[in-house]
Structure 1
């Protein structure tokens, strides 16, 4: 008797499992139907509205294209045209230092990227927040010797963290040919206001500088205050999930939003892209919307040859000693 009872219970459980499975299938089908009939049209309509609205709020790019070309230098200036020295080539000399900038110029390279952050007292300084705690008064920061942090720091004179105004005076006096890519690590409204005031008061610094930020909103706010500032977007990958990266549709939509909506609205002139996520097609898509692509981080001589000879794209590098023509001469 117990045998039949167990068999009946087993059959009853199997029946209930089948019923639940069928219900789940119907539920998923209904959700999919609702999404196709309601969500997709509304998403499409929302995207259309955003595209139309972006035409009314967009900012014009730098009105002087010749100034942008003069800042980036020209392909005729080979080989100094291709590399942009990250933190003034921080592998070769103390990063973000005046000594490093001098060394870049001595080698014939004038494009340098420097970090910028805001101290607790509201002063813009040239420093890498990942290595130097800038959330303190300027007086405390200037007690630090930034050359000590470099492996070859003993070869250089002691140097303190430079306020932006001090860097501008140095460039005007000793490095007038330098083009500065100023990367903002603080995208707060306070930073934007301070930078706008500084660049309004120091026109010569504004003329030699391209402001770089990972925040489209920060760029928009800065260019709204001072439209003639040339700005660039530091593009980082936010699609961290592998399933999202593997979807061609999702990555295409993601890229199109940045290129065709965000870039025209904020009026950027250059974009920094990861070397692992660029190809001929993506580079052409950015060029088609009037934005010059620049690749980061490129340190291998073979990679540099590839971007010079094949891709013909400028790149950000930590070392100028690995430039192909330098190694060939050696």
Structure 2
């Protein structure tokens, strides 16, 4: 989040630009103060959300803990709580009739016994699918259904889990749906954070409710390379162009997008986290959260040395890398 003393130059620029445009000192002061109020989230609330328990590093179950139970389901949330997670990361999507649900992909094919894009499936149709159909523990969780966002939130509140809402798109719809839940369940202000790869999503959420704690999610080189480092494009010129886009995007994330969005945390792929990187963000009042940390050795490193929150697919055992 922004600190007034550390970011005085930013607000000075806002003040002077408004003064030049309006010739009004009153309006210039009002705009500068409004920008500060929009960007700043109280330190105490952000710390409470990001440090929900006594441990130096809080384990957060990725998609509810997709290795231990079918991802983004109530069963996953319950398993995560039982296995010692302090929070869960949940993906927000929408059905064709606008119902906010938990789902990572734009289609249901990978995780359920259904097929097709969510944009063409109503909630009544979706409720018939088995969300455990393609999970490694499908027999144990057979018949588990895809929950609504509200059902998942109520389960997390009951189990006293913090929530990382991961929003892939639909900025207006997501901001409206989450804004409704924050008003209905005010406890969320101190127990949840809204995250996204898309700055527009976070900006829209902060417009809707500037009291919500937010985070940007980032993986360097994501436009030009897959998570394992392999190039996305066979064409050399396209690869080079997207590499340039990656460089510009990374610079923007670290120099002004985090300020513009007023984030309290930066979620970054684990391979790019180091003590120096954590210190870089700490000097800006922003906490680092790493993803996805899937081995006991990595977890020990984050808990004992780095002491930053980490997102994991399993609370119980080592599992495959997840980019």
Alignment of 1:153-232 (within 5 A): 153-156=138-141, 158-172=143-157, 174-175=158-159, 177-232=160-215
Instruction: Tell whether the 8 Å contact from 2:214 to 2:265 is kept in structure 1 after alignment.
Output: yes
1:187–1:215 Cα contact (<8 Å) kept: no
Match of 1:61 among 40, 52, 56: 40
Q: Name the structure 2 match of 1:116.
A: 92
Change (3 A) 1:187 1:230: same
Which one of 134, 137, 145 corresponds to residue 118 of structure 2? 134
Unaligned runs of 5+ in 2: 1-8, 18-30, 109-116, 226-238, 319-323
- Indicate how the Cα distance of structure 1 residues 50 and 69 shifts in structure 2: closer, same or farther if over 3 A, else same: closer
Gaps of 5+ in 1: 1-47, 324-330
| Residue 240 (structure 1) aligned to one of 216, 224, 228 | 224
CA distance in 2 between partners of 1:274 and 1:206 (Å): 25
Q: Which has the bigger relative contact order, CA under 8 A and spacing at least 6? A: 2
Look up the match of 2:73: 97
CA deviation after TM superposition for structure 1 residue 137, in Å? 1.1
1:246 CA drift (Å): 9.5
CA separation in 1, counterparts of 2:140 and 2:211? 40
- Give 1 or 2 for the bigger CA radius of gyration: 1
User: Quick one: distance in 1 between partners of 2:178 and 2:72?
Assistant: 18
Where do residues 74-85 of structure 1 align in structure 2 (5 Å cutoff)? 76-77=54-55, 81-85=57-61
User: Does residue 264 in structure 1 map to residue 259 in structure 2?
Assistant: yes
Structure with the higher fraction of residues in helix conformation: 1
Choose which of 288, 291, 302 in structure 2 pairs with 1:293.
288
Deviations 1:63-106 (A, max 9, x none): 2x33332323367336xx43211011110111111112111212
Q: Is the 8 A contact 1:296 1:317 kept in 2?
A: yes
**Structure 2 length normalisation: TM-score?**
0.73
Does structure 1 retain, via aligned residues, the 8 Å contact 2:52–2:162? no
- The answer on whether the counterparts of 2:165 and 2:192 sit within 8 Å (CA) in structure 1 is yes
CA separation of 1:127/1:206 partners in 2, compared to 1, >3 Å: closer, same or farther?
farther
* Paired residues of 2:171 and 2:205 also in contact (CA < 8 A): no
Q: TM-score, length-normalised on structure 1?
A: 0.71
Name the counterpart of 2:275.
Answer: 280
Number of residue pairs matched by the alignment: 268
Matches within 5 A, 1:311-330: 311-322=306-317
Contact kept? 2:175, 2:208, Cα under 8 Å: no
What's 1:31 paired with?
Answer: none
In 1, the alpha carbon distance for the partners of 2:258 and 2:291 equals 19
CA RMSD of aligned residues (A): 3.1
Cα contact 1:233–1:270 (8 A) shared by 2: yes
| Deviation, structure 1 residue 161 | 1.1
